[in-house]
Chains A and B, each alone.
Chain A
């Protein structure tokens, strides 16, 4: 009969703790010992780190396990997590988005490009700025790129936060190509690995929470700007 694990597991000598972390990572513990190790993991960051170290030591053993064709369980997973799978928009809708909203916005953006806006509402990224992505409604986003780490950062610096249930999504558009999602602009901004932003048009659209369900823009463009590199 198993007993429930203690809320704060008693302290162990360091060698014992490390071996317990090893046994847990290896998988040999019985159900009761596993539950206790999991309680330790939640309560003790040093123990949690030891478990991660052991998992990393043993992980190469998985290298020889072949991948197996997996059924598409995403509809089930999404239904459990979100209540219903996200609707998928039709492909090609982005062309209308590009032709209509974006063109209008770029025409307007040219006019706002040189205006001095108020102080930023968020931190301005430290690496080299490459694009000021702006819109007629006062939405402004700063996009910066660090050449050394090849990391792109973006953050809203002006204009309102997205309404509840919506999010801002950043897209990169190469000439003649469909928009590629850079990512979602949460309150803390966005940071991604990015090889080269030269020549790209950046645009921000208003999407449902969680981002465009289709992988292409579905909502209105609220800001756009060219990379200046």
Chain B
């Protein structure tokens, strides 16, 4: 072996600033990738509450949310070597796993009726205080500014999709438009967001 730690298996060299003091979850993931079980436990303590909150938001059921939480950490252990601290925050990587596990579950069952979706949306919509507090952070402020450039109904569709894991069909039913109309709405909205967010 003639090089510093490789990119799979053992802990990778962290580029300057990456996985640094401002991202403890990333640091733990790098140690988990090396097989460190104490770091895995510390990761659970640090990340489980937020991930459980995300799973509850999407599934609305404690038992299902617990199953998703378990799946998420199992995958985190197995795939930690794929996490690259230079590419993003540890929590973002974990939340993406949790969301995907939750959506996979949702897609195995019949679509939720529009009335049920309405109720979920009412709960998922952040209270003005919570949103204001979070918007202080730069990334959310930027995204919210871009969301404001969208038609309000389309912004609501984007939010419903992301926060609740709504399918195209569920969104079409909720907003009472044909499926292809909802596809067009969302695709155009995504293109607009991409343009708005690009540096």
A interface residue numbers (CB < 8 A to B): 18-19, 22-23, 25-31, 34, 52, 54-74, 76-78, 80-82, 86, 122-123, 125-126, 148-151, 153, 167, 181, 183-184, 186-193, 195, 209-215
| Contact between B31 and A67, CB atoms less than 8 A apart | no
Considering the complex, which residues of chain B in the window 158-192 have a beta carbon less than 8 Å from any beta carbon of chain A? 158-159, 161-163, 165-169, 171, 186-187, 190-191
Find the residue from B4, B14, B74 having the highest chain A CB count within 10 A.
B4
| Contact between B30 and A23, CB atoms less than 8 A apart | no
Q: How far is the CA of A150 from the CA of B18 in the complex (A)?
A: 11
Query: What B residues does A54 contact at CB under 8 A?
Result: 190
| Contact between A68 and B31, CB atoms less than 8 A apart | no
With A56-B88, A60-B137, A67-B50 known, 14 other A-B pairs at CB within 8 A are A30-B107, A57-B194, A61-B159, A62-B54, A66-B53, A73-B70, A74-B41, A74-B73, A167-B35, A183-B34, A186-B34, A191-B5, A192-B14, A211-B37
Interface size in chain B (residues, C-beta < 8 A): 83
Picked from A63, A68, A189, the residue with its CB within 8 Å of the CB of B49 is A68
Question: Could you tell me the dominant secondary structure of chain B's interface residues?
Answer: helix
B interface residue numbers (CB < 8 A to A): 1-6, 9-17, 19-21, 27, 30-31, 34-39, 41, 44, 48-54, 56-57, 66, 69-70, 73-74, 77-78, 87-88, 92, 95-96, 99, 103-104, 107-108, 126, 130-131, 134, 137, 139-140, 142-144, 158-159, 161-163, 165-169, 171, 186-187, 190-191, 193-194, 197
Q: How far is the CA of A81 from the CA of B75 in the complex (A)?
A: 10
| Contact between A34 and B104, CB atoms less than 8 A apart | yes
Q: How far is the CA of A54 from the CA of B143 in the complex (A)?
A: 12
Q: How far is the CA of A19 from the CA of B12 in the complex (A)?
A: 32
| Contact between B66 and A71, CB atoms less than 8 A apart | yes
- Output the nearest chain B residue to A26 by Cβ-Cβ distance: B161
| Contact between B3 and A123, CB atoms less than 8 A apart | yes
Instruction: Check A61/B162 contact, CB under 8 A, given A181-B38, A192-B27.
Output: yes
What distance in Å separates the Cβ of B171 from its nearest Cβ neighbour in chain A? 7
What distance in Å separates the Cβ of B106 from its nearest Cβ neighbour in chain A? 9
| Contact between A60 and B14, CB atoms less than 8 A apart | no
What distance in Å separates the Cβ of B164 from its nearest Cβ neighbour in chain A? 9
| Contact between A148 and B197, CB atoms less than 8 A apart | no
Instruction: Check A192/B49 contact, CB under 8 A, given A23-B186, A30-B168, A210-B36.
Output: no
What distance in Å separates the Cβ of B41 from its nearest Cβ neighbour in chain A? 6
Instruction: Check A60/B143 contact, CB under 8 A, given A73-B69, A186-B10, A193-B20.
Output: yes
Find the residue from B13, B44, B137 having the highest chain A CB count within 10 A.
B13
| Contact between B57 and A65, CB atoms less than 8 A apart | yes
Picked from A30, A67, A86, A192, the residue with its CB within 8 Å of the CB of B169 is A30
- Output the nearest chain B residue to A182 by Cβ-Cβ distance: B31
| Contact between A31 and B108, CB atoms less than 8 A apart | yes
- Output the nearest chain A residue to B138 by Cβ-Cβ distance: A60
Picked from B21, B77, B134, B162, the residue with its CB within 8 Å of the CB of A27 is B162
Find the residue from B35, B48, B108, B190 having the highest chain A CB count within 10 A.
B190
